[in-house]
Structures are given as structure tokens and as C-alpha cells.
Amino acid sequence: MGATPTEMPIPVDWYLYLSAALFIVGAAGVLIRRNLFVVLFSLELMLNAVNINLVGFSRFHENLVGQNFVLFVMAIAAAEAAIGLAIATALFRNRQTLMVDLFDRMKG
Amino acid sequence: MENYIWLIPVLPLAAFVITLIFGKWWIKEASHWLPILALAGSFGLSFAAFLQIRGAEEPVVVELWRWFSVGSFQVPMTLQLDQLSAVMCLIVSGIGLLIFIYSVGYMHGDGGYYRFFAYMSLFAFSMLMLVLAGNYLVLYFGWEAVGLCSYYLIGFFYHKPEAAAAGKKAFIVNRVGDFGFGLGVMLIFVTFGTLDYSGVFRQVGAGGASDGVLIAIALLLFMGAMGKSAQFPLHVWLPDAMEGPTPVSALIHAATMVTAGVYLVARSAVIFASAPTALLVVGAIGTFTAIFAAVIGICQKDIKKVLAYSTISQLGYMFMALGVGAWAIAIFHLMTHAFFKALLFLGAGSVIHALGGEQDMSRMGGLAKRIPATYYTLVAGALALSGIFPFAGFWSKDDILGSVWRDGQYLFWAVGLITAFITGFYTFRMIFLTFFGKPRMDEATGKHVHESPWSMIVPLVVLAAGSLLAGFLGLPGRLGVLQGFLEPVFAPANHVLGIEEHTLTAVDYVLMVVSVIVAALGIVLAWFMYVRRTDLPALLGHRLRPAYKVVYNKFYVDEFYAATVVRLTVDGSRWLWRNFDEKIIDGAVHGTAWLWQQAGRAVRPLQTGRVQNYLLGMFAGLFVIVTVVVLL
């Protein structure tokens, strides 16, 4: 909001490139990493990639709704992290490991 | 009269429902009261209806409700009362009432006491529905219901394998006849578009169907009658039905239910009169059955089996009468036969009761002095069955033989006369073996012999009086009260056949004397063989060994059926079971299961159990969808 006409604004594309890069890194982490904690971290990365996307568009459209939305996403992410870590703790107690590829009891 | 006709069948139905529900725990040993009172009520109402219908030209038809209503197929639940159904109602409820009272003494102490009276009430309801029906479908309902009751009551002692088998046999053999009857009813509807008696008969009278169709209808109806009335070749179930309790044999398998076939043909008299070919078949089958069953009756050892074959033979006489268009006389013989055959069965039951369950006549003898009341009433019944003047059987049997003679069917007449001789012989063979000579039972049984309780003797005496007097209702020629009473029912059929009212001539008297002499000769021969020269039967049996064996084994009809129809059915069913059911039906079911099992096995590896793999799948899918959406 503090942009003055003399300054050169950051184009919206840049936000999108950054957001996409972060999202792909996060998605790859979720799909590939074996450690449950790292998978959870990667999930946070994906969420934050979305946040950057929202903020970027919010600025581009000069509309606060997008930033408003980001606050909700952060709250949800916090709750999700709490539940995810609780599940991780419970899993570790039962299986003494957090390697995701070892959790295949539902194999057909 | 329209108001109370429905009560005639409904009273026994109510007694049946209440006795069946409460009999086992509450009513128990008092189970006989309700059925007896209900049937007495039916009898009273039947009598009132009988008095009111006298001389009426048109039948009284009551439509209770619309039973079937499907497009053009409209069948109301109608009851029809005319002179014929009034007479039948009186026979069913009157004879039934006496047999119910007799059963109080006979069935006393049986574990299924309440069950017995419940089924008997259901039978009374079904039979009254049968005779009161106003169209062929209601008749069919009653017809099947009496068959069902017959099955229940033949297999009453269901713990005995023979009784259970006899019940099944009766049901299955009857099913053969009922199949024809059912087809006949359908053909009637297809041809005339209605099932009401009045509508059908009016159209038949107006020539509403071709000769071929009428013959087909008549023969199909007669097929049902052959099953229910045990005519050759569907007679095999009736002797086996003697496995039931004796009162059941008396009521159902002698006096009432087996006459349903006679009633059906008499009821459809107009149809049969318009199809002379079918009428000839009825007469021929009846005549053949009469002599066929009488011959078998000569060699039976079981007292109830003798009576069973005599029933078949007498039913044959009734069909012989129907076959020459003597409708009223057939109904007359039906009535007198109901009296004396019920009497004979109940008397035989009294003998069996006295001997503690013994039915084999070769272990009876010398009972005349020990159980005199049974003896005298039973002799009255035997005289009536043999057709000795002035007992009831004389009047009705001679009316039949006389009308057969007048119709010019001399062959039928000759066979009927020979049958009368055999009837006299086997009936009195039974009497002499049972009551005369030396006692042949073992000592313990001999000491135990006792006269039956009053509840059994009173019905015997009433029936004996009936056997003596009922014949006077149907004196020959113009004197016949019953024939005159039934005139309005059979007038259309007689008109078709051109039968005039008949005045007695010298020929009739000669015929009567001849038939009495012939029957008396049979009795004398029985006396000679079984009282005078008791060594003769064994000697003759030895000399005529092959003939004796054939007759004793009932002409091997049962064996013939077992080797052909039954064998074919059983083998065919087994073949179908092994090949069609197990291979094709089961194969299809198992094959379907196998198919899906294999399909499941093929795609099972996809389910790795690893969340990341699933997620990868979702991303890949998303990628494909987005790509497609963006690019197209």
C-alpha cells in the first residue's frame, strides 16, 4: 500500500514464480521424503506458497480480501500442524519409526 | 335367506380359527364343543335354507364382495343357494355333525385332540364353500381347500411314516386331476367370458360354444372329478388315505369330500348334456371303476381297505348314473351312500376301538355277542350297501340300474348288475369275518373287548336309522320326493338331453327283483364260504393262485405307477438336479464369483497402502485434467 508513483512496483508475475517454485518444492517433499516430519514441513511450504499467491493478487487488485484469507490459512495451518504432530507422536509410540513408506498396513 | 347363507360356511371357519389358536393351551380336552356347536348351527341354517328354497324356480345368489378385478377379469365372491346346494349342505353338515359327536369318544385321549377338531372344522368350512359356490373360481377355492384338509387329516398321525406318505400321495394324485380342472376353468373363462354358473349355463344353452370346445371343457372338468372322486386311473390315493383316523375316513374319504366330483359333474349338468361324447366317457369310466374296485375289495384283509374299495366302487355307480343323464338319481345315491358308508366306517371304527387298534380281519371273528350295538348297526349298513330291500342302498342303486337300462346302455347295466353281486359278496364277507366264527385274536386282546361309549353308539344308531329310511325319499318314478325337489336345477340339462319324466312299468319291477336276487346270491355265497365251509377260501386261493395274487395286489396299479410315472419323475428330477441345477445354475453363480475374484486379484497391486503413492496418483490425475482443460 505504501507504493508511491515514483517507485517501480514489483510485477505480479514475480510473486507467481516464487509461489510456484515454493509449491513444487513442497509437493516434491510431500511425495518423496520418507521422514514424516519432513513431509509435514513440506506441507507447510505448500500452504505458504498459496499464501504468497494470495498476497500477490491482493496487492495487484488493491483488494484486502486476499490478505484477510491468508490469516485464516495461517490459523488452519497451525491447527493442522498441531494435529499432524500429535499423529506423528502416536505413530512413533506404536511403531518406533517415522519412515512413511513403512506404514503400509492397508496394502491390498 | 340372503342374509344368513354366508353364516353356513363361516361358523365352522370361526370354530377352526378359535380352536387352532387357543386349543393347545386353553381349551384342550373341551376342544370338541365349539366345532360341534358351530356345525350344529350350520346344520340348522342349512335346514332353514332348505325349507325356503323348496319349489323356487331361480337360485338365490348373494355377492359378498368383488374378489378379483383385473381388467375384463371380474370375479365376485358369490354364494349360490339352489336345491342342489341345499341338499349337499344338509348332507355335509348333518353327517358331519354325527361324525363330530362320534369323534368325541373315538379320539378321546389323543395328543392332537384340539388339532383334530380344528382341521375337521376347516374341512366343514371348505366343503360348505365348495357346495355353496356361485361361480367356478369359488368352487375351485373350496375344491383345493378340501384337498388341503384331506392332506392334513390323512397325515394326522404324522409320526407314522405310512400316514405321512399317504397324505402326500393323496395330495399329489389329486393334483393331477386338479390340473385338468384348473385348465377347464380357464377354458370356460376364455370361451364364455364369465365364470358365473348362471352366465355360463345360459350361454351353453344358447349354443355359445362349438361342440369341440364343450367336449374339452367337460373332459377337463371330469378330470378334476376323477381325482377327487377316486375314479380309475386316479383312484390309488383313496385306499392309502385309510391311514387317517377312522372318523376322517368316514367323513372325508367316504361320505362327503369324495363326492365333490359327483357334485361337480351334476352342477355342470348342462355342459355335459351338451357334450354327449364326454357324457359317454363319464359313464364308461364310472362303470369300469365300479367293477374294478369291487373285485379288488374281495381280497382285502384290512377292514377299512374293504370299505375304501367299496367307496370307489359306489362312486363309480354315481358316475354311471351321471353318464346316462340321471343327475338327480346320482345325487340320491350320493345321499344314501353318505348315510350307509359313514355308518359302515364308524361301525368299523367301533370294532377297531373294541379290539384296541386291530384292523386285520383275519384276527377278528366272533364279535357279534360281545359288541351287539356295533354289530346290529353295522349289519344295517351292510344291507344298505348290498342293496337289499327296503334299505336305502336298494332304492338308489336300483334307480341307477333302471335309468341305465332305460337309456339303452345294456353293457353298463350288465356290469352294474355283476358289481351288485360282488358288492353283496365282499360286504358280507367282511361282516362274517368280523362277527361270526371263532375268535382269532390273541387272548389279551380278546379279554379286553368292550362296547364303545355312548358318544360313539348314538351316531351309529342315528345313521342306521338313516340307512334304513333315507331310501324312501327317492322312490322311483313319479313318487320320488328328492327327484321332484331337484327338478328345477336339472330341468335345463334334461331339456337338452330330451329326458322325459318316467312312469313305472313292469320292466322296472323285474329289474328291481333281479338286482335284489343277484345281491342276495352274493350274500349267500359269502355265507357259504365264510361261515359254512371256512376251508373253501384258502382252497380257492390256492387253486387260483395267479388270479388271487393279481387281485390281492390291486391289479398292480400302484406298482405300474411306481415303475413308470414316479420313476420317470424321480429319475428326471435327479438328472435335472445333477446336470441343470448343479452345472448350469450353480455354475453361473460360481462363475460370476470367480470372475470378480480374478478381476480383484488383477488390480490388487494398485492398493500399496502407502499414502504417498495415492497422493502421487491424485497429482498425476490433477495434472492430466488441468492439462486437458488448459490446452483444449
pLDDT for residue B589: 95
ipTM exceeding 0.90? Answer: no
Chain B within 8 Å of A101 (Cβ-Cβ)? Answer: yes
Indicate if the pLDDT at residue B249 is higher than 90: no
Chain A, residues 43-82, CB within 8 A of chain B, namely none
Indicate if the pLDDT at residue B435 is higher than 60: yes
User: What is the mean pLDDT of the segment spanning B586-610?
Assistant: 92
Indicate if the pLDDT at residue B48 is higher than 70: yes
Q: pLDDT tens for residues B505-547?
A: 778 888 888 888 988 898 888 888 888 787 777 777 788 888 8
Cβ–Cβ below 8 Å for B612 and A30: yes
Which residues on chain B are in Cβ contact (under 8 Å) with A106?
Answer: 607, 609
Of residues B494 and B227, the one with the higher pLDDT is B227
Per-residue pLDDT band at B568 (split at 50, 70, 90): very high
Indicate if the pLDDT at residue B40 is higher than 80: yes
pLDDT for residue A82: 94
User: What is the mean pLDDT of the segment spanning A67-74?
Assistant: 93
Residue in chain B lying closest to A101 (CA): B610
Chain B within 8 Å of A104 (Cβ-Cβ)? Answer: yes
Indicate if the pLDDT at residue B501 is higher than 80: no
Residue in chain B lying closest to A105 (CA): B609
Burial label for B251, CB within 10 Å (0-12, 13-18, 19+), is buried
Phi, psi of B62 (to 5 degrees): -120, 125
Chain B within 8 Å of A27 (Cβ-Cβ)? Answer: yes
Q: Which three-class secondary structure state does DSSP give residue B133?
A: strand
pLDDT for residue B478: 66
pLDDT for residue A3: 52
- For B383, residues 6+ apart whose C-beta sits below 8 A from its C-beta are B391, B393, B467
State chain B's mean pLDDT as an integer: 88
For A107, which of B609, B615, B619 is closest by C-beta distance?
A: B609
Q: pLDDT tens for residues B295-333?
A: 998 888 888 999 999 999 999 999 999 998 888 889 999
Cβ–Cβ below 8 Å for A108 and B615: no
Q: Model pTM greater than 0.80?
A: no
Q: pLDDT tens for residues B353-393?
A: 888 878 888 888 788 888 888 899 999 999 999 888 888 88
Per-residue pLDDT band at B477 (split at 50, 70, 90): low
Per-residue pLDDT band at A2 (split at 50, 70, 90): low
Locate the domains of chain A by residue range. 34-96
pLDDT for residue B288: 93
Tell me the shortest Cα–Cα distance from B614 to chain A, in angstroms.
9
Q: pLDDT tens for residues B85-143?
A: 999 999 999 999 998 988 888 888 777 888 899 999 999 999 999 999 988 999 999 99
Mutate to test the interface with A, among B597, B604, B607, B610 (most CBs of A within 10 A): B610
Cβ–Cβ below 8 Å for B612 and A101: yes
Which residues on chain A are in Cβ contact (under 8 Å) with B612?
Answer: 30-32, 39, 100-101
Whether residue B385 contacts residue B344, with contact meaning beta carbons closer than 8 Å, is answered with: yes
> What sections of B505-585 are H helices per DSSP?
506-527, 536-543, 545-552, 557-561, 567-575
- What angle, rounded to 10 degrees, do the helices at B481-497 and B197-205 form? 50
Grid cell 372329478 in the structure block, residue:
B225
Indicate if the pLDDT at residue B605 is higher than 60: yes
Cβ–Cβ below 8 Å for B609 and A27: no
Chain A within 8 Å of B615 (Cβ-Cβ)? Answer: yes
pLDDT for residue B476: 72
Cis, peptide link before residue B9, omega less than 30° from 0: no
